[in-house]
Structures are given as C-alpha cells and as structure tokens.
A and B are shown apart, each in its own frame.
Chain A
Amino acid sequence: MAARSISDSTAALTIETSVPFTSHLVDPPSRDVTTTPAELMTFFRDMSLMRRMEIAADSLYKAKLIRGFCHLYDGQEAVAVGMEAAITRNDSIITAYRDHCTYLARGGDLISAFSELMGREAGCSRGKGGSMHFYKKDANFYGGHGIVGAQVPLGCGLAFAQKYKKEDTATFALYGDGAANQGQLFEALNISALWKLPAILVCENNHYGMGTAEWRAAKSPAYYKRGDYVPGLKVDGMDVLAVKQACKFAKDHAVANGPIVLEMDTYRYHGHSMSDPGSTYRTRDEISGVRQERDPIERVRKLILAHDLATPAELKDIEKEIRKRVDDAIAKAKESSMPDTSELFTNVYKKGFGVEVSCQICSN
C-alpha cells in the first residue's frame, strides 16, 4: 500500500451533528458544523490521550498509588475537547472534581497531572490538592472543586470579573446533573442574569448523581430549561462537533446578552469514583450499549475513516504512541518525591499574613 501521511489539511469540512439541538428561549444554532481534517485529527488525539490517562489512573488507584477520591472522566471527553475548540485560553473554565481531562484540555501536562494524583511535589498543586484540586492559572482554568455546586457561584464571580475588566471573554462553569439541584446555582444564575454576566452554566448530565439516577433526584431533568428565564440548549455531549458548535454559540450569546445554560447529554463509563463500581444502579448492558453506540472517540474515528483522513493502522499507531506517552509520564511522575514536610505550612497564607503589605505604613 502506498505511504500517505495523515491529513493535516485545514480545508473546511462541514459535518452534521448527530442530532439537532433542542433549545429553550433561544433559536438553536445550525447542526452543520464547520471543521477541518486537522481539527478532527486533533480531536482524535486529544480525546484518546484523555481516555488513556483516565484508564491509567484507574490502574494506579488499584495499585494504591492514587488514594482518596478519584473521579474519572472516560466517556465524557468530547465535552472537554469540544469546549476547548470553541474558545480561547482567555476564556475561563471552572469545574468540579471530575477535572483531570479539563486540566489537560487547558494545556496541563501529563506529568504534573499524574504527580498530583500521586501526591508528589511535581504535581500541579504541589501534591497538596489531589485529584479534586487541579488548577492552571495561566490558562484560566480555575479548578478543581470538591463540594458539589460550590464552583458555580465562583464561576459567576469569574464572569463578573470579566465584565468588570471589560474583557469580552466568557466563563464556562461546569457542574453535574447532581449539582443541578443545588440552590446556590439558582442564586448565582439570578444574579448573573440581573447583572448580565458572561456566564455559561454547563450541566454535564451523565444521568447519575453518584448512585442516584437523574429521574430520582430531579423533578424536572430537563436541565437546559431549568434556568427558567435564562435561555438554554441541549447538546449531544458525546459528539465533539456538537459540543464545539454549542460552546461557540453560547460564548457569543453570553458576551452579548448574559447567561445561558448548556446541557451536555453525556455518559461516564466508570462509576462516580473509584470507590463506586458503577454497576449497582445501572446495568452493564446500558454501559456497553453507550460505548457501542455513542462513544465519542469512536464517532470521530468513523468520521476520519469515512473522509479518508487516515487509515485504521495510522489511528492505531497514534493510540500506541499515546499509550507510550502516558506510560512515560507515569514513570517520570513516580520519580518525583513526596513534598517536604515544610510544605505543610506553605501557601496557607500569601506572604505570611499580609504583614508585609499592611506594615509598610505602620508607625512601628
């Protein structure tokens, strides 16, 4: 067979989303999404990297190298990747504890991620945060939060700062279907709508709040409508192109008009966390069914093959290369030492109680 390189063309390609968008109080965007071969290849690589990272984390957890709580994102990759494709690093993202892949999407690196998961000093939070506390300030990634729903007011605060500073950027505040029932969300949405903040509330609806199915927790599981007076869009979260389209639409809307709600219909293959087998409240058939019908990476693989952008063997090579990258990163992360005991007391306060600042003008 003749050698042919994987397409890195930037010629426009228009692809239809899996399903049309459903909307609330707003005209939905078109289901025709513009992309390029290069972008599709990037989607494949990025999502495969995320998938591999999460699976590797699963093994590390079982080997007791990762402790505590570990919430894996495999199945939901399209949300992180599609969102990133629609926005810039000047826009802000904040999410809850299922944050490893969002960190990667915002430019985080594998070694910092694995080091943090294993509590090493090379971790992105110097080993002091753990799985639920990944952040990347220079990429406007604001974490990484353990208390369900508390990140949404923070996110609206980020949007407030963006408006205050006249930035023309937006904030994507992600939360789950479980968090959607938190009162503080509605409070923050009310304020955001009143003050016309560029806040996009993104419900990653994977249909289970830990072990409780959405229909048992929400009287109205139409999360995209629960903004009431705030417009909303329901998106197939397993279709990276649909996610990209929706996020672009949402950003333009938010910067011009104020808040909007996005509901990403997605799915997690793992349980809520590594402590949850994920099979007591749903059937294995359901999980494998989603994997077969809606897997985000498989969807892109099919598109790539259908448009002849790469061969199956080339895609397999990419996956092999990714596997090696992840293995190498884990090996490197394992070399990093545990934080020194003195680190216990660093970063509690900035500059030690602010003494430097206030005592400048102090008489003594």
Chain B
Amino acid sequence: MFEALREALIEEMKLDPTVCVMGEDVGHYGGSYKVTKGLAEMFGDLRVLDTPIAENSFTGMGIGAAMKGLRPVVEGMNMGFLLLAYNQISNNCGMLHYTSGGQFKIPIVIRGPGGVGRQLGAEHSQRLESYFQSIPGLQMVACSTPYNAKGLMKAAIRSENPVVLFEHVLLYNMKEKIPDEEYICCLEEAEMVRPGEHVTILTYSRMRYHVMQAAKTLVNKGYDPEVIDIRSLKPFDLHTIGNSIKKTHRVLIVEECMRTGGIGASLRSAIIDNFWDYLDAPIMCLSSQDVPTPYAATLEDATVVQPAQIVAAVEQICQ
C-alpha cells in the first residue's frame, strides 16, 4: 500500500506543480513508512519539505500555503501527533472557507498512519477520526487497500476541500495488483466488498480484514453477510449504506474507534435518523474498548474487535 500511495503522490506532483509534501522525515529520510521514498530526489527540497518536529506550526503553514494557491500534502508521522495541530486543523483548515464568506479555499491533504498497531503503546495507537469528525468543513476518508489508497490519495489531492486521509500502520505492507491506467476513487463513495442478503456489515480501514475473516466463518455457518467498506468517514455515503439496509434490514458496525464518540456512534445515529423503518433488529456496533491501548500483546488484542466477536454479533443479530 505504501507504494500505491507513493505512486499517487508522484503522479499528482508531476501533473500539478502546486502539489508539495511537508512532514517530518518525508524528504531525505524517505518517510518513516516509505510513502515518500524517492520523492525528494525527484522533486527537490522545495516540493518535498522536511520539517522540524513542530506539528502545530507546520500544519498551520500548510494551511496558509493552501490559502495562497498551493496544494500541500501534510504528513503526520503518526496521526496521533496531529493532536498538537488540532487548533489549526479545526479552526483554520475546516473553517476558513466559511468564515471568509467563501473567499479562501483550503485544498490541503492531511494524511498519516493511525490506528492500533503492534504494541506501539497508547500514545502511538490513536484513532483521530473520532476527534476530527465534528470539524465542519473537513472531509475524512480511510483507505484500506492499495487500490483505494492510490485512488483516494489522488482524489484528495485534487479536491478543493481539506481532506484528512487516514492510513493504517498495519496495512502499509499489504500487496495488491492495481491498474496501470490512471484511476481515481470517489471521495464520498463507500466500497461494496462482498454483496450479501442477511446483514449489512459496515466497516473501514483495518477492521475490514477482521470482518472478511469473520465472513469466511459466517459463510461456512450458512450466513450471507453484505460487507461494505464505508471509506468516506465524513460525509457518510448514506446512499450505498441505505440501499444495503433496505435489502438486509440488519446492521452491524465494526470499527476500530473507541466506543465513546467514535465513527460508529455517529453512523448509528445517522442510520437511525434515515433508515429506522427498514430495521428489523437493533443496530449493533462493535468498537474498541474505551481504554488507552495497552502494550501487552494479549491486552492489545482484547482492545480491538476480533473476528470471533464479529461472528457472534452476526449470529445474534440474525436470530
């Protein structure tokens, strides 16, 4: 996946000279997850900028540059570090288009790896999509495959709106054959992963893989789950999601956010508001536990949703 993301960056930087990349160790070091490897040699130090460890200011600078016509791609080495830039992302990035009465647009991409990794510890296992989802004016997408990573990165760069692209630490080494021809993924569209009839499972990012693992077990047990990778965390693709619910009448949300205030909480609300009449069972939402992510392997595993829990949840919903 890191290569897919890199390809997207290279293609867009070649197409549009206003696209530049900023972040810690993105240039000479080649990126801590190799997403920007080789870019500094290709495009030079003015377009691939190594920043000091100063998230608040370099995110602000990216936003200022966007106000003046550039299209920066700002990397948080770990998304969690961008909490230091929360004010810039919320007030300036999200809101300037509105508070200026439409004068300024902020075509910035803010990206980086987040999510629970392999024993990285509490501060390096954050899920910032919960924190950012309320910010008006921001768009949020989560990639999960090399295919959609490249497509979403390209779309995010071309978008006139500020887009936060959530990558996942554990998915960078995922491999997939992707088209040679140019393609773009729609930022606001969800992805149908596995059509089915019995239950709509809504998920995104790494949990997609836990869901698909559970789906294998479920199919053996005679269930036919429909799996949708929602991809667009803000706004939700209620069109695709709604069509699915109208068909299956049962919903399970599987997310990596913590239970409180996560994407699942918002999604559940949106579904109740829009599709209540189509539901034959209460919406179930499986989320990570409301705890700091522990270091010990067994505890970390217990923090996030595992395939066995997904299987049990589907069996419960489909009773």
Contacts and interface: CB of A to CB of B under 8 A. Distances in A.
Nearest to A360: B184
B104 interface: yes
Contact of A358 (B54, B66, B96, B187): B187
A136 B88 CA distance: 20
A126 to B, nearest CB: 4
Interface in B147-181: 155, 158-161, 163
A166 to B, nearest CB: 10
A360 B183 CA distance: 10
B36 interface: no
Interface in B31-71: 46, 49, 51-52, 54, 56-70
Contact of B57 (A92, A147, A161, A187): A187
B186 A362 contact: yes
Interface string A193-235: 0110000000000000000000000000000000000000000
Nearest to B94: A348
A155 B63 CA distance: 9
A357 B67 contact: no
Nearest to B46: A164
Interface in B179-212: 182-189
Interface in A140-164: 142-147, 150, 152-158, 160-164
Interface string B4-18: 000000000000000
B233 to A, nearest CB: 13
Nearest to A121: B101
Interface stretch (A16-24, A127-135, A305-313): A127-135
A161 B69 contact: yes
Interface in B98-146: 98-105, 136-137, 139
B137 A349 contact: yes
A124 interface: yes
A161 B186 contact: no
B100 A143 contact: yes
A66 B222 CA distance: 66
B87 interface: yes
B137 A158 contact: no
Contact of A191 (B54, B158, B159, B161): B54
Contacts of A129: 98-101
A246 B316 CA distance: 74
Contacts of B242: none
B269 interface: no
A124 to B, nearest CB: 7
A78 to B, nearest CB: 26
Contacts of A127: 101
A245 interface: no
A133 B99 contact: yes
Contacts of B57: 152-153, 156, 184, 187-188, 191
B159 A123 contact: no
A207 to B, nearest CB: 26
B92 interface: yes
Given A161-B69, A191-B57, A353-B188, A135 B91 contact: no
Contacts of A153: 56-61, 63-64, 88
Interface residues of B, number: 53
Nearest to B57: A187
B100 A184 contact: no
Contacts of A143: 96, 99-100
Nearest to A358: B155
Contact of B101 (A124, A162, A357, A358): A124
Given A126-B102, A142-B104, A183-B56, A160 B186 contact: no
B61 A165 contact: no
A94 B20 CA distance: 22
B294 interface: no
A145 B102 CA distance: 15
A359 B105 CA distance: 19
Nearest to B72: A157
A347 B102 contact: yes
B30 interface: no
A150 B102 contact: no
Interface in A316-360: 346-351, 353-355, 357-360
B259 interface: no
A125 B160 contact: no
A155 B2 CA distance: 32
Contacts of A347: 97-98, 101-102
A125 B100 contact: yes
A157 to B, nearest CB: 2
27 contacts: A126-B101, A127-B101, A129-B98, A129-B101, A133-B100, A142-B67, A142-B68, A145-B92, A147-B91, A152-B60, A153-B56, A153-B57, A153-B60, A154-B64, A157-B65, A157-B68, A158-B65, A161-B69, A162-B68, A163-B46, A164-B46, A187-B52, A188-B57, A191-B57, A349-B139, A354-B161, A361-B183
Please name the 8 residue pairs, one residue from A and one from B, whose CB atoms are nearest each other, closest first: A157-B64, A153-B60, A354-B159, A187-B57, A157-B61, A154-B64, A125-B101, A126-B101
Given A161-B68, A350-B105, A354-B161, 11 more contacts: A146-B91, A157-B64, A157-B66, A187-B57, A191-B51, A191-B61, A194-B52, A347-B98, A353-B188, A355-B188, A364-B186
Interface of B: 20, 46, 49, 51-52, 54, 56-70, 87-88, 91-92, 96-105, 136-137, 139, 155, 158-161, 163, 182-189, 235
